[in-house]
Structure 1
Amino acid sequence: MIPLGLLAAGEKGEVMGIRGGGNSAYGGLPDCSEGLCRIEDMGLRAGKVVEMLNNEGRGALLLKIDESRIAIGRTMAMKILVRKQ
């Protein structure tokens, strides 16, 4: 598994879990610290396949989840663990 923020444009990965504060665990979000509930609400949850659309330099990353496009910050992207496909 690698952090989502390391996928290159055009690569896909299956979300395996989200690392966060001391209460977070792989595969689930036991609390809403650090904006993790917002990430889950946007569709980034365990089992979902995401495609990296834009990962250039600094700043936000552009992802495709199902038929939606979302942008997330690089710091948060480094907390989301994916398995490359």
Structure 2
Amino acid sequence: MEQEIITHLREMAIGTHGYIVGYDKVFRGYQGKLLSMGLSPGTEFILVRQASKNWPLMIEVKGNLLRLSKPEADALCIEYN
């Protein structure tokens, strides 16, 4: 059985599937916005693009692409295996 790892989006490889498990306490101010985007605990996603200097991070959730700024992405605690 594979072990699940709790981490942040910036530490994942492109194409990795994961689940949202919560929100980082340091970035709690983003929780409401993330919830309004449908990013609640238990939500499954695929990392499509890593954040770079000029581009936001992108994830796919239920067939929709969502752009996340670095602080928004850092607010998510995720799990993947």
Question: Which 5+ residue runs of structure 1 have no aligned equivalent?
Answer: 25-33
- Number of residues paired by the alignment? 75
1:19-58 CA distance string (max 9 Å, x none): 2349x5xxxxxxxxx2321111111110011100000533
Instruction: Tell me which residue corresponds to 1:76.
Output: 72
Question: Which 5+ residue runs of structure 2 have no aligned equivalent?
Answer: 1-5
Report the TM-score, using the length of structure 2 for normalisation. Answer: 0.79
**How do residues 13-32 of structure 1 correspond to structure 2 at under 5 angstroms?**
13-21=18-26
CA RMSD of aligned residues (A): 1.9
Separation in 2, partners of 1:43, 1:7: 20
Find the partner of 2:57 among 54, 61, 64: 61
Q: Does the aligned pair in 2 maintain the 1:62–1:71 contact within 8 Å?
A: yes
State the percentage of identical aligned residues. 15
Separation in 2, partners of 1:56, 1:72: 8
